[in-house]
Amino acid sequence: MKIGNVEINGSVALAPMAGVADKTFRELCVKFGASYVISEMVSSRGISFSNEKTINLLQLSENEHPCAIQIFGDNPEIMARAATFALKYKPDIIDINMGCPAPKVNKSGGGSVLMKTPELCGKIVNAVKKAVNVPVTVKIRKGWDENSINAPLIAKICEDSGADAITIHGRTREQMYKPNVDINIIEKVKNSVKIPVIGNGDISCGLDAYNMLNKTGCDMVMVGRAALGNPWIFSEINQFLNSAISYKEPNIKEKLKIMLSHVNSICKNDGEKHGMIKARRHITFYIKGIPGAAAFRNRACKVETFAQLQSLSDEILTTFYKNNK
């Protein structure tokens, strides 16, 4: 699949999850087979104010291409300047967030609230497209609520304004992440535009990816929450799509080893003190579902050093083997 002039070899992308899809996680997902990754969403106003935390979100590594930097905001000129600034970090693509349902983002005028103003959506895409020399993509939702389902309209407006691809999450903003994703709206978006369409929502295994690709005709699927504590999901999906053979997931020992390697990378990137705090969310997802690990979950949320996590990991493994003799 091509987005503009960027070739993407594969069918599975990592979603731009705030507080999760940082550089270390994106690199890990690429290692396990993600074909394309997108940064955490970055505030265009934060970039314009040279906010240090915001600027840090723009950091990319050599090991995660093709990748996009995602920006959000509601002012076309500020979005264009932010996109231009983001090019310093050498993304292959600039992605515009028009789908985030978070109240904080919506109150600032960004994310899915933009779908209430289709004309503004077009102006933002047009401004960003004119400002950069890389492909521009847009992530949207089904609509704001069930009374305003307008994803096909927004997709077409974005295409006409210069967008090179559309990602569609098959729920409204009011639905957040429940009930099940609406496959039909993804198909309608695909049929409304000529540019590539990426389907997003409820992809948690190879069969889910296969069904979305085949039922909607979308060009690629995007995995979000299902990758938490489970970065090997990309290997699973790729194997299923390529051979329809069930994937043998890592055993308990291998999962904990992956967790430790991931957290070690976070600590190297952010420093141990901040890195361990940042890693706690990932840790709880890694140990979720491991038999006997529930008793360790509270402790996992309080680990302060990498050595403590190593000890906890050893204890979890010992308990597992003891209970499964």
49: Cβ contacts below 8 Å, ≥ 6 apart:
none
Q: 154 with 60, same domain?
A: yes
Beta-bridged to residue 172, according to DSSP, are 143
Q: 284 with 141, same domain?
A: no
Nearest-angstrom CA–CA distance, 323 and 319: 6
pLDDT at site 245: 74
pLDDT at site 17: 94
**Domain finish residue from 216, 243, 270:** 243
pLDDT at site 292: 72
Cα–chain center distance at 283: 18
191: Cβ contacts below 8 Å, ≥ 6 apart:
152, 217
Q: 221 with 302, same domain?
A: no
Q: 168 with 259, same domain?
A: no
pLDDT at site 116: 96
Cα–chain center distance at 190: 20
Cβ 11 vs Cβ 206: under 8 Å: no
The residue range of the domain holding 274 is 252-323
Paired tokens of 228: 């938490």
pLDDT at site 111: 94
pLDDT at site 196: 98
Q: 81 with 229, same domain?
A: yes
| DSSP string covering 256-279 | HHHHHHHHHHHHHHH-HHHHHHHH
Q: 285 with 239, same domain?
A: no
Q: 13 with 57, same domain?
A: yes
**Domain finish residue from 223, 243, 263:** 243
Name the strand (E) or helix (H) holding 27.
helix 23-31
Q: 263 with 215, same domain?
A: no
pLDDT at site 270: 94
Q: What is the pTM of this model?
A: 0.94
The single-letter DSSP state of residue 145 is S
Q: 55 with 139, same domain?
A: yes
Q: 167 with 55, same domain?
A: yes
Which residues participate in catalysis according to the annotation? 100
pLDDT at site 325: 62
Instruction: Find, among 213, 222, 105, the residue nearest to 169 by Cα.
Output: 222
Q: 63 with 86, same domain?
A: yes
CATH number at residue 154: 3.20.20.70
**pLDDT tens digits in sequence order for the chain, 325 residues long:** 999 999 999 999 999 999 999 999 999 999 999 999 999 999 999 999 999 999 999 999 999 999 999 999 999 999 999 999 999 999 999 999 999 999 899 999 999 999 999 999 999 999 999 999 999 999 999 999 999 999 999 999 999 999 999 999 999 999 998 889 999 999 999 999 999 999 999 999 999 999 999 999 999 999 999 999 999 999 999 999 998 677 888 999 999 999 999 999 999 999 999 999 999 999 999 998 787 777 788 888 889 999 999 999 999 888 877 776 6
CATH number at residue 281: 1.10.1200.80
**Domain finish residue from 214, 243, 272:** 243
What's the domain count of the chain? 2
3-state secondary structure of 60: coil
Q: 162 with 217, same domain?
A: yes
